[in-house]
Structures are given as C-alpha cells and as structure tokens.
Structure 1
C-alpha cells in the first residue's frame, strides 16, 4: 500500500514507519515537527506541513496516490491539556477533521487512529475491556473520544474503514537502539528513571506511596512501541469499507512504579535513588488492559511482556542517544 503517516516523526509514528517500510509499503510522513524529530525517519519520505492545511493534504494524497492514512499527530500530555484546552481542541479535533475531509475529497477510506486509555477516565474494574464506559476526565481524553465518535459516523455515512487503537503506556525503543523516545519535557516514567541512571537527574520522584496496590505505588500496563506498531499494521490489513474497529493495546500485565524503578536498576546497574512526593491529581491507582479482542481479531500478540525486556531496549537507546536525537 501507499500509506500517509501523519505525525510519523513522533515516538510511536516513527517506529510504525520503520515497520511499514520493512514490510514493503510505500510510506510518506506528513509532520510539522513541532514535537516530532526529522532524524527519526528517512528524509526521502518527509513532507512538512500542518493538518489544518486541507489543500496541501489533498495535493499530497492525490500526488502520492495514497491508499491509507495513519494518524499519530495528536498532542498527548494530560496536564498540558488541562492548562491549554484550546490548543488540544484545535490540534486533536479540528485539525483531524481537516484530515478526514481531505481524505473524503480524494476518496481515501482507510484510517487508523491512535487513541488512548484516557478515554476511559477512571474505570472501576480491571482489566479494562472495550465495553468499559468511556468517561474521560481531562481534555486530552475527551478530544480522543470526540474523534472516535466521529470516525464511527464517517464509517457509517461515507464508507470509511476505521480503527481506533486505545494505547496503554507506550514504552521501549527499537531493538537496535537507533530510534527511541525523545520528548521535551519528558513525562514518561521509564525514560525519566533512565535519565537518573545517566546522571541527568538526581533522583526519581514517586508520586504517592499509599495507593491500594501491593507496594502502594501506581500500577500501569507498559506496552512496547514496536508491539504498538505491529498492531497498527494488523489493524490496517483488517479494514473494510463501512467498518469500525475499536481495540485496547496492552500486555494485560501491570507493573508498579517501584517495580519499574527496580527493573531499571537491574538493567542499568545503577542505584537510582527515589524520593517520595505527593500524589498527582487524577492518577488512578491501577490501569491494566484487556487486549483479548485485539489478539483475537487481529491475530496480534505483544512480543515484549517482561518489563526488564522493555527497559533493556529503552536503555540501549538512551545510552547511545543521551540527549535524544540531538546526540
């Protein structure tokens, strides 16, 4: 296929681009590089632009004879979405509609969308299955849910085939250490812990040690970025006109903050000191995926389940790129 990957220079996008190219697909990356990195994808496939530019999107899709679109171009910081909701509604919702309308103008109907567990809010039951009520508690989660609902309507009214893939905690890096996670500011636990091992931070803050979990710290489901990429490809291959796929992507295994820190100590050989800090508002005690549906319908299964294996790939990236892509 000829695939347009919007936000393809970002973390999950760049790993998906690499997988798609390895499978023989012709890939074009559309990105404004506000948060992505040019160095993460081959320069020959880069197209610089904004999703709000419908005319450019139409031109690109026609010129490149695009068959399918993958969308990784959302802003994804919960705290930022609370502080700057207008920015999130503009980028995550309005710009996405420009993309969908460009697709409709050209006749491209296959669409794979990066969604999020944040659409569920604070679910009462674990693990989280797709029939869990979606009640987002922040603008980020709500903007993703708005798009999910719109995709259902586009599928039914306009013949789109869509997949909304709800991520749990994306983590890890390419096994060869050549591409990985590079955010500014960094908000994900594993790279923050590894920055301590690199001497870039003095310690790791543990935000709450009195949750109703075995060690008192929050539990999350960490899914390797390459496993996310393979699920996107599997979903794309599954799409049919007028179809809607909505699936959770996780391992089904939860690890606490302290377990992640301990895994990083084991992998890096560094002591990695921690300090206790107050709870962060809105942090659920436990979030674990039930990804049975994705495994059954996509014939997909995560390759990385052990947290040490995930951390090892991240550590290889951070050692070789201590300043991220600027290294």
Structure 2
C-alpha cells in the first residue's frame, strides 16, 4: 500500500481523499483547522463539477442543499439589464454544506492530522491541495510561484432572504461589481469587488462593509436591500490573490490540485469547479495506473484547460471592473443583449 499525503482539507483535498482507492493508498489529510468556516459563502457548480460530485457519490445530496440558478442577468451599475443568459444546469450551494458532504464521503481509513504544515513530507506522494498560498508549491516549485496580490478587494456573504424579484445577477459599475445569486432555498449569496488598499492581511470587516455600502448606496434597489441586511459577522472580506503559471502540476513526488495549482480571480465562478475536476481526475488515474504514468497523464489533462480558465478569469475581471472604458463596455454589452433578444424572437 502506497503512502499519500494530502496537504489541505478543503474542497480539492477532501474530494481526492474521498475518491482514492483505500485498498491501494494509505491516505493522510493534513488540515490546519478542524472547525468549518465561520462565515458562510456560496459556490456555483457547473455541469462538469456536478459530474465529478457524482463520481464521489454526493451529487444528489449537494443538489438538495443548493438551489438552481435558472437565468442570470448582467446589469449596469444602476440595475438596468444589459444582457440575459440561461444557466439552467448551474446550481449554487453553500461552501460549508459542500465541505460537510465531502468530509462525510471520506473513508474512515483516512488519517486526519489537524495542524499547520511547515514543509511537505519527504516520503510517499505529496498532493498540494493547500490553496493559493500553498506551502507545497512554494517549497517544491520555488518562490517564483508565490501567490500574487491583485488590486481587488472581495466581500462575500449569505443572507437569510430569497433573491429579490427581478434583482438577481451581476451589476457592473465603473470599477466595481456586485453579485446577487441563490445560495440555497430561501437564502441569497452576495458578493462585491473593487480596487482597494485595505489589507492584504488583517482586514477589519466592519470597515470594509462600510466602504462597500458607501460605494454602492443608492445605485440599485436590489443591492441596497442586500447591503442593508448584511452584517459584519456574516461577511468575509479578503484581497484577491492569484497563482502564476507553475510550468507543470507535477514535479518529482509532488502534484498540485485546486487553487494551489491555478488559483484565479473569482469572475468566472470556476475555482471550486476546477478543484473538484482536478481531484476526481487525479484520483481515478492514481487508482488505475502506475504512479509515473498517472501523474504525467493528470498533468496533460488538466494543465492547459485550467490555465486557460485562469487567464480568461483575469481578463473577465479587467472587463467587469473597467473604469475609463466602462461606458464603451456597457454600450457593447447592451448592443449584444438587443441582438440576442432579436435572435430569440426570430427563432
């Protein structure tokens, strides 16, 4: 039986541990904390990620815990619809619920170690599932792969109300965005982002929330309602970090998954999805092939796909948070929305 150490007990780490063959691997999951996140946020799960959850065996439970998106509206900063899109096969689920279900799917044979990891283990296969600030990536791939700080602050939270009728979607203003989507039945996930000098560490959430209210106040009724209900205790405020291209997701006896491999801005809503796909892809290859072949095939399957999404997400962030180009952006999106509406009528 081969030893396998998973550094990081988040989405990617738990999905991997749940999917690995316990008769082939002695798995140890290292996680710094035993408690779930104190502030609830939500995740969008696209069809590919749902298929990965089906492989883990928890898709139906995740669907029961979440809520369907249906349709999404892209709006200007005042709430006027620029463009509508269908998202019938996308579900939103609270992160805490997804972690709980993944955790329950991990076999009892997996060893849990709850303490910070100062350096990766020196024996067996090491999987870096430890996020954008991955100690595995920095230790083995080098300091050139250290996470990079973006200029953007992100606030997120869940409120105990449904999405206000006709107010859901993303609001793109000048240099700022606000999102309102379903989190679960009867609950709404909200998020905001803009350039900020707060942080990067020790951000005072009350200050960040006050700044956010001042920036968005009076611009759109749906946004005003959400921010009136949001509380500092139910809000997460963080600067956005990204991970540079590491060249390969496999080096020696180590491999990267999730944000440790391709941490990206949240603008495409693909971070958690790609983490799940990474984990299930790697587990299935390790379960069925010799180690060197499995790692090489994982790298081949996941590197370019996830890196393309990382680049696309950064491009989307620049578009969504455009400042001087905001009027041109809104005009082009409004034109695209009219053409799509006309095509739908003709069809």
TM over 0.5: no
Per the normalisation by structure 2, the TM-score is 0.30
Larger Rg: 2
Per the normalisation by structure 1, the TM-score is 0.31
